[in-house]
Amino acid sequence: MSLVDTLVQKPSLTPASRFQVLNGIVYFGAGLGLIVWPGLVQILFRDPRFTGHESALFRALGLTIAVIGWHYYFGGRTGGKQVVAAGLIERFIYVPLVLLPLAFAGVFSHTFVAFTALDVGLAIRAAVLLRAEAAHESIALEKRLDPGRTRCAQSIPAPCETVKN
């Protein structure tokens, strides 16, 4: 199978994986936006004009964000829950731990706070979807393990009865 065929293969995806793919598109687009137009942050966040080589720095930041988006997109397309779970760790811990102190020190404050808020917000939604999938899988597993489905009465200590299909 060729590289292109492997990249465009369409697997069936869970909601959390589809959300990861959507995150990848958002990040890739934001990264490309910064590469093409680094002054975008000045327009969006009303930051002062660049005084030095900040535009080059934002282009490099854009490349980094685009590569992250690329990996989120194709990682989500694998359908693996591990990709989503690994993304949660970096989004909840590493991104705020690095970007917020920089923002509070006055380094691109608006950009880093906005990016941290976006990243944590997307991580919360991904965590909710991942948890819902785990609950769904747990219910499906119980049904497979106990095909006779035992039903217990609500009052205690009533005996359980087996339900026949």
The answer to the question of residue 1 being in a domain is no
Domain range enclosing 52: 13-162
pLDDT of 137 above 80: no
The answer to the question of residue 4 being in a domain is no
Look at residue 8 in the predicted model and tell me its pLDDT.
Answer: 79
Q: Which residue has the higher pLDDT, 5 or 27?
A: 27
Look at residue 127 in the predicted model and tell me its pLDDT.
Answer: 93
Domain total in the chain: 1
pLDDT in tens, 90-116: 999 999 999 999 999 998 999 999 999
The answer to the question of residue 7 being in a domain is no
Q: pTM value?
A: 0.76
Q: What is the DSSP string of 25-93?
A: HHHHHHHHHHHH-TTHHHHHH-PPPP-SSHHHHHHHHHHHHHHHHHHHHHHHHTT-HHHHHHHHHIIII
pLDDT of 124 above 90: yes
The answer to the question of residue 8 being in a domain is no
pLDDT of 120 above 80: yes
